[in-house]
Amino acid sequence: AKAAQGCTWCFYDEQVSRSARSLADQEGELRRALRRGELELHYQPRLCLESGRIVGLEALVRWLHPERGLLGPDAFIPMAEESGLIVPLGYWVIARALRDLQSLHEGGADSLHMAINLSFRQFQDSQLLPTLNRLIEERGIDPHWLEFELTETAVMRRSEQVQSAMHALGELGVRFSLDDFGTGFSSFVHLSSLPITLLKIDKSFVAGMAVRPGKSQLVQAMVGLAHNLDLDVVAEGVETTEQLELLRQFGAQQVQGYLVSQPLPLAELLHFMSAERLA
Ligand code: C2E
Ligand code: CA
Ligand code: CA
Ligand code: CA
């Protein structure tokens, strides 16, 4: 039954409980999806501008939903972060990415890096280090092939926990990159105290680079800044050869984007990589 006429509180209440219920539903659904194996990873290649070779991959999660089809992370990662499900989901991502990296390395692509996105919440989990150690051991992967991407916003929370986990992982040989650079507010003093070696220029800065000089200048300044901090640069969202050429001129080390390849399922990635080798 509808709320009593004029009773805005009742109405409000009903709305709140309806949306709360649907959030709980969504959580349950994602939890089941994890159990049933409905999640997938797609891998986007990273091109090294100097060698012209694919030097790494970024793992990007998708949900093959039985009714709604293939869902991108924006449809469920925020909810997973909110609910804490990002922790088990994140372990699934790490385990799958390491499994696939092992098979890629064994298949001959033995100098590929794997970049994995990590949420702030995952750093707050005490099992992160032991789990990673176990998975690395299981897969026989040298940790220096692994890279974790952390957003600027996560890093700038200056959490003691994040900092010590980063240092501990850094000791293992794992690398860190600063994702979505330019969208948050970095303190360079804070940045230089963390074991970060790469800076990823957000695709919003790369978009329109060749057509708007102001944008190109901004990206050039960002690359210069990264180099002053002794960081390598990956530009994301590279869609045109003009953008790629400008980035090369500016001295960016790597690019990622539809120009090189979309994120691909493992089988298609293998195909892409073998075609790449023949080219
Ligand atoms: P991100 O880390 O900034 O990832 C880059 C996004 O840009 C990806 O979107 C990718 O598909 C898209 N992209 C790549 N090349 C191009 C291009 O040339 N043009 C344009 N317009 N877009 C491009 P996607 O896969 O939808 O991922 C969205 C975000 O979801 C990611 O942003 C990342 O923050 C998050 N995410 C993805 N997988 C995971 C995960 O396993 N764990 C966590 N915590 N977050 C994840
Ligand atoms: Ca990323
Ligand atoms: Ca990014
Ligand atoms: Ca992003």
The pLDDT-based confidence of 210 (bands split at 50, 70, 90) is: confident
Average pLDDT, the chain: 90
What is the per-residue pLDDT across 81-127, written as a single tens digit (0 to 9) for each? 999 999 999 999 999 999 999 999 999 999 999 999 999 999 989 99
CA-nearest residue for atom 25, ligand 1, is 60
Listed as own residue / partner, the contacts of 257-261 with beta carbons closer than 8 Å and 24 or more positions apart are: 257/203, 257/206, 260/45, 260/46, 260/47, 260/54, 261/44, 261/45
For position 18, what pLDDT does the model report? 54
Question: Distance, CA 58 to ligand 2 centroid (Å)?
Answer: 7
For residue 80, the ligand 1 atom closest to its alpha carbon is 44
Tens of pLDDT, residue by residue over 36-93, are 999 999 999 999 999 999 999 999 999 999 999 999 999 999 999 999 999 999 999 9
Alpha carbon distance, N-terminus to C-terminus of the chain? 67
Report the share of the chain in percent with pLDDT over 70: 91
Mutate to test the pocket of ligand 1, among 85, 89, 162, 236 (most ligand atoms within 8 A of CB): 236
Give the residue, by CA position, lying nearest to ligand 1 atom 38. Answer: 60
Cα 90 from Cα 76, distance rounded (Å): 13
Alpha-carbon gap, residue 57 to 77, rounded angstroms = 20
Instruction: Quote the ligand 3 centre to 3 CA distance (angstroms).
Output: 45
CA distance 207 to 216: 9
What atom of ligand 1 comes closest to residue 236's alpha carbon?
A: 15
Q: pLDDT class for 230, splitting at 50, 70, 90?
A: very high
Which pLDDT does position 17 carry in this prediction? 56
Mapped to the 3 state alphabet, what secondary structure does the chain carry? CCCCCCCHHHHHHHHHHHHHHHHHHHHHHHHHHHHHCCEEEEEEEEEECCCCCEEEEEEEEEEEECCCEEECHHHCHHHHHHHCCHHHHHHHHHHHHHHHHHHHHHCCCCCCEEEEECCHHHHCCCCHHHHHHHHHHHHCCCHHHEEEEEEHHHHCCCCHHHHHHHHHHHHHCCEEEEEEECCCCCCHHHHHCCCCCEEEECHHHHCCCCCCHHHHHHHHHHHHHHHHCCCEEEECCCCCHHHHHHHHHHCCCEECCCCCCCCECHHHHHHHHHHHHHC
pLDDT at 277 over 80: no
277 Cα–ligand 2 center, Å? 25
Residue of 43, 57, 60 to mutate, ligand 1, most atoms within 8 A of C-beta? 60
Q: Which of 61, 62, 117, 149 to mutate to test the pocket of ligand 1 (most atoms within 8 A of CB)?
A: 117
Residues within 6 Å of ligand 1 by CB: 44, 60-61, 72-74, 77, 86, 90, 93, 117, 119, 149, 179-180, 203, 236-239, 257-258, 263
Q: CA torsion, points 48, 51, 52, 54, in degrees to nearest 10?
A: -50
How much distance in Å is there from the Cα of 2 to the middle of ligand 1? 41
Between the CA of 235 and the centroid of ligand 3 the distance, in Å, is 9
pTM of the full structure: 0.92
**Do the interacting molecules here have an ipTM over 0.95?**
yes
Task: Please tell me the number of the ligand nearest to residue 149's CA.
Answer: 2
